[in-house]
Amino acid sequence: MSRLSSSGPQTADAPTPEDAFHETATLDDRARGPQRGTEADGPMLAADGTPLKKSLARALRAQKLRALALIAPLLIFVLVTFIAPIADMLFRSVENQIVRDTLPRTSAALATWDAESGDLPPDSAFEALYSDLFLAAEARRHTRLGQRLNYENTGMSSLFRGTGRDVDDFGEANVEMLEDLDDRWEEAEFWISMTSGTGGAAVLDAARERFIRLDDLSTRGPLGDAWCGVKGVFGAPCAVSAEDVDLGFTLSGDFAETFPRTAEAYAEFAVFMAIEEEETVADDEPWEAVYVALDRDLRALSPEELAAYDGPEAEALRAAQAALADVPPVDFRAAFVASDEDWGTVEPWRTIRTYAPPYTTGYFLNAVDMQKTPDGPALRDEDERIYGLLFQRTLFMSLMITFSCILLGYPVAWLLANLPMRTANLLMILVLLPFWTSLLVRTSAWKVMLQQQGVINDVLVWLGLVADDGRLIMINNQFGTIVAMTHILLPFMILPLYSVMQTIPPSYMRAAKSLGATPLTAFRRVYFPQTVPGIGAGSILVFILAIGYYITPEIVGGTTGTFISNRIAYHISSSLNWGLAAALGSILLVVVLVLYWAYDKIVGIDNVKLGG
Amino acid sequence: MAETDTQEAFVAFERVQKSYDGETLVVKDLNLAMPRGEFLTMLGPSGSGKTTCLMMLAGFETATHGEIKLGGQPINNIPPHKRGIGMVFQNYALFPHMTVAENLAFPLEVRSLPKSEREEKIRRALDMVQMGEFGGRRPAQLSGGQQQRIALARALVFEPELVLMDEPLGALDKQLREHMQFEITNLAHQLGITVVYVTHDQTEALTMSDRVAVFDDGRIQQLAAPDVLYETPENSFVAQFIGENNTLLGTVKEIRNEYAVVELDDGELIDCKPVNVSQPGERTLVSIRPERVEINAERLQEGAHTLKAEVLEFIYMGDIFRTRLRVAGKDDFIIKTRNAPDQRRLRPGEKIEIGWLPDDCRALDA
Ligand SMILES: Nc1ncnc2c1ncn2[C@@H]1O[C@H](COP(=O)(O)OP(=O)(O)O)[C@@H](O)[C@H]1O
Ligand SMILES: [Mg+2]
């Protein structure tokens, strides 16, 4: 302290020229910042008297518009290819229209049924299921629903497939009764003459809408109409959309009022013929379901009521009513139980009821190893839980990969930033080499390296480090995945690190050493803290890439080294459970966002530097 | 303190050479001895090896050949952090992730000083550079001049005996630079530290230093006090590098007594002081400072040679007049005259005679 202490007091008294103090004063002002001008009252005015802010905004508007026009293509591209799929995924993870679209009447009939009472649903539900299932089976959509419900309750798929096959024969006796009564009942013309007329358009429209939803037919919005108009000008008109297909048939309002079930069933038949078969009702006799519906309608009417009906073929209808009195009404319940005795239990009904709403938490519950039970959501049995473990494993392995990348990448980045240009360029090529090699090739190369008869094991055996019968298992497990993915993601760590290190002049380390720090202290206290933003950027990149990685774990991961993304891919391409895949994807997205948020809180995203 | 014996010198370079690539010598045969407390400036054009010399002294580069001594001890094998040399870098090298106070604390912490002592020293060092209130700021929140002061304080806070500065004022504007030059010399003298200062700005070198070492081509061209350097440059490089200078090419005609007669290329004769010419017939570059040229014939010595000149341009610069002349076929001959009441203001086109004292006109190597 000798010199400083003796000079300290003198410094204060040291002759300082006036401009020195002046200089210090101006420096202070400069550093303190606040400008005097801002304290003035009222807004600043431009030369023409408008507020300065306003005229500035006006001046900048054209510039902003031009900038917007320049980025518009990219903006639209990003919206279409990035935001839209994510939105679609989020929607799919809760979307559950299929039950309601396929079984609309059943869903409605079950709405009032108490699933927990232990009683079977009322007869009306069986009847509703019959009419729903008949149409679905004709359109071959019932298996899709069975598959969907199978995710929630195994056995639903075969139940629907089997009953879909049998449903044609339900009420066979009653149908035959009608057909035997008069041959005309089997003729399409007879049905047309009986049912056609005017005033029943609403029923036809409802049937058409229902069928479009059942068959997932795309409809064309106003934009599509405009497009087709343009195409038409060039002689390439669009195909007629389902909503515009001509049914070649109009329904009588009187008939629909008196025979509502029949009208509905016949309308569905008409829509099906026109849209699916591209024919009309004139080309075929109606479905059995129409006969069954007529049977139900005739039974619901008293003879007096029917006597009052004066529509076409009223005589034939009265004759049919009289004849049908001889056969018992169709017993839907018995027919379903005969087709599959599961229909006599509460389970399938409960499943339909639970998944009837258009939106469901079911996929998400599934994705976190839970299920819906009578007492609300609950964890699945221990041995059925897989996704929690997979998420944990994915996070753990991604962290391991990130750390390995930091450990291996840091020295390389340091060398890149500090070697002479020529050597650094060569090293850079080595770092970038993986980018120029197919991902599949790189991953397969690891397979060759790591397998039990592979290069590494051979070398270890040759060196005598492991016995020939004790070869290490380094592939098809977590180790293999971590090694291969660290290698593949390493450039994403090195590049941001390198670009940050490049901006750190060597004079910092020199300054630290000249101040008395050992090389290690200088590194720890001066160099390393300045590279933290690079580590942050690299870690975020590597971690987020790793957490969603698919190909590499698929190839080298075996069963214990796979990621959640492999499961997602399985549900998308094999089990076709897109809802669950979307739910898993959404959770992954949320996890990443939460981690990103936490990272921002702890490290601060401003501290992340990808370059300069 | 012009000549110092290397034995008792505080800092000494002995026959030091340095090559980075094994092909060219960046520093060729450097010999330098500095006494304790001296303010020595290395001055030279960019690329002349100044920084390299400084880095060798600080220990960041090793000398290819030769020995560097500090306090009489060879330091070639001592790592930089054990040399105890303070250093101010051109870009200041303030640690951006630390506050000003933490920056200053750094050298004290690595020396494990107790906290109270540390704080006391930091406070005093900050006061010393008039930055007492800025301890909590980050370097990025300071202006260039303020960063400069902090860098200075940091280099001094651990009380090194030797401080190296590599173009520390290069990034500052003129006014601030002049002020800091004054402050640095003041501090150095108060603290009694030895300073090796590197600059390519000759005014800075002349105003600040006890001695200036002029570097070119990896060699010290001249090592002398500022006035000596300015008035008696030893070779044409130094003469041209330092200050403004008029040069005329010629051949030595004869060397008589103390003076040489030089025949310029257009046949005119002038008297000069021979500096590094010895033989008649040698080519020589005659150098004369613009302010030593006399346009008033009465003020010249008896029998002095004069030259004819034509005024090409007259520039009024306030305190002085700067006039460009055509002399001996050259269009860039400058003279400077003081703005005194009786001073003539030359007009372009005017024909005059100029002359000088032979002592002011130096015949150097061509
Ligand atoms: N690290 C280095 N590697 C190779 N050449 C260098 C290095 N540092 C400086 N040089 C070369 O050495 C010469 C002198 O450089 P330097 O000492 O920085 O000059 P100055 O500081 O006088 O401008 C220059 O030609 C420069 O190109
Ligand atoms: Mg330099």
Predicted ipTM of the assembly? 0.84
Show residues of chain A in contact with B110, CB under 8 Å.
515-518, 521
Mean per-residue pLDDT for B355-365? 86
Which of these, A331, A349, A206, A213, lies nearest to A267 by C-alpha position? A206
Which of these, B40, B190, B78, B126, lies nearest to A13 by C-alpha position? B190
Whether B205 and B58 map to the same domain: the answer is yes
Judge whether A143 and A135 are in contact, CB under 8 Å: no
Show residues of chain A in contact with B79, CB under 8 Å.
513, 519
> Would you place residue B99 in the very low, low, confident or very high pLDDT band (cuts 50, 70, 90)?
very high
Lowest-pLDDT choice from A235-239, B155-159, B250-254 = A235-239
* CATH number for the domain whose boundaries are A387-607: 1.10.3720.10
Whether B130 and B76 map to the same domain: the answer is yes
Give the DSSP letter of residue B232: S
> Would you place residue B225 in the very low, low, confident or very high pLDDT band (cuts 50, 70, 90)?
very high
Q: What are phi and psi of A117, to 5 degrees?
A: -70, -25
pLDDT in tens, B174-219: 888 898 999 999 999 999 999 999 998 889 999 999 999 999 988 9
> Would you place residue A490 in the very low, low, confident or very high pLDDT band (cuts 50, 70, 90)?
very high
Atom of ligand 1 nearest to the CA of B20: 4
A513 interfaces chain B, CB cutoff of 8 Å: yes
A39 pLDDT above the threshold of 90? no
Whether B127 and B157 map to the same domain: the answer is yes
Residue B2 within any structural domain of the chain: no
Please tell me if the CB atom of residue B52 comes closer than 6 angstroms to any atom of ligand 1.
yes
B93 pLDDT above the threshold of 60? yes
Which residue of B55, B87, B165 is the best one to mutate when testing the A interface, meaning the one whose CB has the most A CBs within 10 A? B87
Please tell me the distance from the alpha carbon of residue A456 to that of residue A474, in angstroms, as a whole number. Answer: 9
Whether B274 and B322 map to the same domain: the answer is yes
pLDDT score for B357:
84
Whether B114 and B143 map to the same domain: the answer is yes
Would you call B74 helix, strand, or coil by DSSP? strand
R_g (Cα) of chain A, nearest Å: 38
Whether B279 and B191 map to the same domain: the answer is no
Please tell me the distance from the alpha carbon of residue A402 to that of residue A538, in angstroms, as a whole number. Answer: 8
Q: Check CB contact under 8 Å for B95 and A5.
A: no
pLDDT in tens, A331-356: 999 999 999 999 999 999 999 988 88
Whether B228 and B248 map to the same domain: the answer is no
Please tell me the distance from the alpha carbon of residue B164 to that of residue B40, in angstroms, as a whole number. Answer: 10
Q: Which of B176, B205, B236 is the last residue of a domain?
A: B236
Q: CB within 8 A of A277, min separation 6: which ones?
A: A283
pLDDT score for B103:
95
pLDDT score for B7:
54
Lowest-pLDDT choice from A39-53, A139-153, A424-438 = A39-53
Percent of chain B with pLDDT over 90: 60
Please tell me the distance from the alpha carbon of residue A472 to that of residue A69, in angstroms, as a whole number. Answer: 60
Please tell me if the CB atom of residue B46 comes closer than 6 angstroms to any atom of ligand 1.
yes
Judge whether A455 and A467 are in contact, CB under 8 Å: no
Q: Which of B236, B258, B288 is the last residue of a domain?
A: B236
Q: What share of residues in chain B are helix, strand, coil (percent, to 5)?
A: 30, 35, 40
Q: CB within 8 A of A170, min separation 6: which ones?
A: A130, A288, A292, A330, A332, A335, A336
pLDDT in tens, B262-321: 998 888 888 888 888 888 888 999 999 999 888 887 777 776 778 889 999 999 999 999
Residue B205 within any structural domain of the chain: yes
In the sheet with B320-327, reading across from the earlier edge strand, the strands are B330-338, B320-327, B307-316, B351-354
Atom of ligand 1 nearest to the CA of B44: 22
User: B137 has which bridge partners?
Assistant: none
Q: Check CB contact under 8 Å for A3 and B193.
A: yes
pLDDT in tens, A3-28: 444 333 333 343 444 444 444 444 44
Identify the top-confidence range among A572-581, B169-178, B207-216, B253-262.
B207-216
Whether B230 and B251 map to the same domain: the answer is no
Q: How many CB atoms lie within 10 A of CB A248?
A: 14
Range of the domain at B38: 11-236
- Who wins on pLDDT, A29 or A445? A445
Which residue's entry shows tokens 């409802």? A206
Residue B6 within any structural domain of the chain: no
Judge whether A96 and A583 are in contact, CB under 8 Å: no
pLDDT score for B304:
73
Would you call B224 helix, strand, or coil by DSSP? strand
Judge whether A180 and A205 are in contact, CB under 8 Å: no
Number of domains, chain B: 2
Backbone CA torsion sign across A36, A38, A44, A47? positive
A33 pLDDT above the threshold of 60? no
Whether B303 and B230 map to the same domain: the answer is no
What value does the mean pLDDT of chain A take?
86
Please tell me if the CB atom of residue B50 comes closer than 6 angstroms to any atom of ligand 1.
yes
* Chain Cα centroid distance, residue A455: 41
Residue B1 within any structural domain of the chain: no
**Chain B contacts in chain A segment 3-22 (CB below 8 A):** 3-5, 7-8, 10-12, 14, 17, 19-20
Q: CATH code at B27?
A: 3.40.50.300
Q: Which CB contacts under 8 angstroms, 24+ apart, belong to A300-309?
A: A301/A258, A305/A258, A309/A254, A309/A258
**CATH 1.10.3720.10 residue ranges in chain A?**
387-607
Percent of chain B with pLDDT over 70: 98
Please tell me the distance from the alpha carbon of residue A480 to that of residue A443, in angstroms, as a whole number. Answer: 10
Whether B249 and B279 map to the same domain: the answer is yes
Burial of A213 (C-beta count, 10 Å sphere; 0-12/13-18/19+): middle
Please tell me if the CB atom of residue B48 comes closer than 6 angstroms to any atom of ligand 1.
yes
Whether B41 and B188 map to the same domain: the answer is yes
Which of these, A473, A479, A498, lies nearest to A401 by C-alpha position? A479
Residue B337 within any structural domain of the chain: yes
Whether B256 and B302 map to the same domain: the answer is yes
> Would you place residue A41 in the very low, low, confident or very high pLDDT band (cuts 50, 70, 90)?
low
Judge whether A290 and A262 are in contact, CB under 8 Å: yes
Show residues of chain B in contact with A603, CB under 8 Å.
none
Mean per-residue pLDDT for A534-549? 91
A157 pLDDT above the threshold of 90? yes
Please tell me the distance from the alpha carbon of residue B142 to that of residue B130, in angstroms, as a whole number. Answer: 13
